[in-house]
């Protein structure tokens, strides 16, 4: 009884604190992720008040948070959208990987952490934060801009690449040999290919089988199916997160829309628990020694992400002002960088503090870069980067801005009409 009482008190305090921190983040116009990480640092190992009674429950909640993050991400895209984006955006994806993964890998090697840590840190610096970027686009009123489909296309390529990267990382971290790692990758690729094929050919049948007029039944079926598939994927060393992502891709239509609405609050709750859990297992005393490398890495990869967005928008024949906006929007790192680092902290504990400091810097810098990269770039390269035409209008996408306090962005410019949208 005493243990249960302590558990309830700690969980209640954690959830209440998360709610208050989320409200504070909304007031100041930033992502709540850095505040959640700071809360975990304050009350974890080496923090002010260690949380002992709820640690096991929070660990389980954190795992569910990762699964729901990837499930909801998969629900945003259909299999046909993923295939079409892969065909049209793969050059930008190659540039994105080259410019942003290599600095992380190089940093790990320069620090003497070895090749496994290099693969981990490459993923941390490579993947942008879909959640933070989606919020920034809405807050700045840019959902209708012509460069927004380009930004979303880069994010889709990154998300799809995660289905290959995570199994490789899982194999490396588990210490399996080359043969075992190759087998894991083949299983992953085969699974991804099979799911995409089934989703393309029979997605409607799957969605109809899952769909229900009862919100309760739909929630239970989708959540249960996701946890089951995630568990089987983890058993096969493919990654539970990839399994959840594939479930999301397989669902479409009314089933996907209904599941999205029902599971979004659960995702927000458990994702917040995940960030707190990561902070709980990072000793704050270990962050100061890595703050300088984290800052240098953050600045380098902020520049490389801007270059990535600029290149991708130029391929879509978007004018220079939109290219700068696309680049600045991609700067933010967040949930997936922490997910990747969280998988590796047991093997290389030093990655946790560095990844925490890195994400804190770029989660704060990301919204600022999205807002100011275009005017700064236009001023620095005034002779080469003319402003957008005053009369150019923005096309509207289906999804409205989520924030009521939107800032009107620069007028959008005319782009290649064949560019595909992802929202």
Q: What is the pLDDT of residue 71?
A: 85
Compute the Cα dihedral for 218, 220, 221, 223 and give only its sign. positive
What does pLDDT average to over the chain? 78
In the chain, what percentage of residues exceed pLDDT 90?
Answer: 20
pLDDT category at 405 given cuts 50, 70, 90 is very low
pLDDT for 53-100, tens place per residue? 667 778 888 888 888 887 887 787 777 766 776 777 889 999 999 999
Q: What is the pLDDT of residue 96?
A: 95
The interaxial angle of helices 240-250 and 79-110, nearest 10 deg, is 160
pLDDT category at 308 given cuts 50, 70, 90 is very high
pLDDT for 387-401, tens place per residue? 444 433 333 333 333
pLDDT category at 404 given cuts 50, 70, 90 is very low
DSSP state of 284: G
Specify the higher pLDDT residue, 344 or 115: 115
Average pLDDT over residues 286-309: 93
Gap between the Cα atoms of 364 and 136, Å rounded? 12
Residue 188 to residues 179, 183, 341: CA-CA distances in angstroms? 14, 9, 20
pLDDT for 201-260, tens place per residue? 777 788 888 888 888 999 999 999 899 988 887 776 666 777 787 788 888 778 888 888
Specify the higher pLDDT residue, 306 or 136: 306
Contact 322, 145 (CB under 8 A): yes
CB atoms closer than 10 angstroms to residue 407? 12
Average pLDDT over residues 312-322: 91
Gap between the Cα atoms of 284 and 381, Å rounded? 41
- Coil, helix or strand at residue 30: coil
Contact 39, 49 (CB under 8 A): no
Gap between the Cα atoms of 272 and 264, Å rounded? 12
- pTM summary value: 0.69
Average pLDDT over residues 9-29: 85
Q: What is the pLDDT of residue 421?
A: 37
- Coil, helix or strand at residue 303: helix
Q: What is the pLDDT of residue 412?
A: 42
Contact 18, 272 (CB under 8 A): yes
Task: Provide the Cα torsion 116, 327, 136, 317; round to 10°.
Answer: -130
- Coil, helix or strand at residue 274: helix
pLDDT for 362-383, tens place per residue? 988 888 898 899 999 888 877 5
The whole-angstrom distance between residue 185's C-alpha and the CA centroid of its chain comes to: 22
Specify the higher pLDDT residue, 97 or 384: 97
**Residue entry with tokens 């996408």:** 397
Residue 302 to residues 63, 308, 364, 403: CA-CA distances in angstroms? 29, 10, 12, 25
């Amino acid at each position: 009884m005493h243990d249960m009482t302590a558990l309830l008190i700690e969980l209640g305090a954690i959830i209440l604190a998360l709610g208050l921190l989320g409200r504070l983040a909304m007031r100041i116009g930033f992502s709540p992720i850095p505040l959640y990480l700071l809360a975990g640092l304050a009350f974890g190992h080496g923090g002010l008040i260690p949380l002992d009674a709820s640690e096991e429950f929070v660990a389980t909640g954190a795992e569910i948070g990762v699964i729901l993050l990837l499930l909801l991400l998969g629900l945003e895209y259909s299999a046909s959208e993923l295939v079409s984006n892969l065909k049209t955006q793969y050059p930008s994806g190659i540039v994105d990987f080259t410019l942003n993964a290599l600095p992380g890998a190089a940093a790990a090697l320069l620090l003497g952490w070895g090749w496994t840590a290099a693969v981990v840190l490459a993923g941390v610096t490579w993947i942008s934060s879909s959640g933070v970027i989606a919020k920034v686009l809405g807050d700045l009123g840019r959902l209708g801009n012509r460069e927004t489909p380009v930004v979303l296309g880069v994010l889709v390529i990154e998300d799809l690449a995660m289905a290959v990267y995570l199994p490789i990382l899982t194999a490396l971290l588990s210490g399996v040999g080359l043969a075992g790692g190759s087998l894991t990758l083949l299983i992953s690729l085969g699974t991804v290919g099979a799911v995409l094929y089934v989703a393309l050919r029979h997605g409607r049948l799957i969605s109809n089988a899952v769909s229900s007029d009862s919100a309760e039944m739909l929630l239970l079926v989708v959540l249960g199916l996701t946890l089951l598939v995630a568990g089987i994927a983890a058993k096969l060393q493919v990654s539970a997160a990839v399994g959840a992502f594939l479930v999301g891709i397989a669902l479409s239509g009314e089933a996907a829309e209904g599941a999205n609405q029902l599971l979004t609050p659960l995702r927000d709750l458990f994702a917040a628990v995940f960030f707190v859990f990561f902070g709980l297992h990072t000793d704050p005393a270990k962050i100061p020694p890595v703050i300088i490398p984290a800052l240098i890495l953050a600045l380098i990869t902020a520049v490389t992400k801007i270059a990535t967005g600029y290149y991708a928008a130029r391929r879509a024949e978007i004018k220079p002002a939109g290219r700068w906006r696309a680049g600045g929007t991609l700067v933010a790192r967040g949930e997936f960088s922490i997910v990747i680092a969280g998988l590796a902290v047991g093997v290389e504990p030093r990655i946790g503090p560095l990844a925490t400091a890195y994400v804190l810097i770029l989660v704060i810098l990301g919204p600022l870069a999205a807002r100011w990269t275009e005017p700064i770039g236009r001023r620095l390269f005034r002779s080469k980067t003319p402003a957008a035409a005053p009369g150019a209008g923005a096309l509207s996408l289906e999804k409205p801005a989520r924030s009521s306090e939107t800032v009107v962005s620069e007028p959008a410019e005319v782009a290649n009409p064949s560019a595909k949208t992802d929202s």
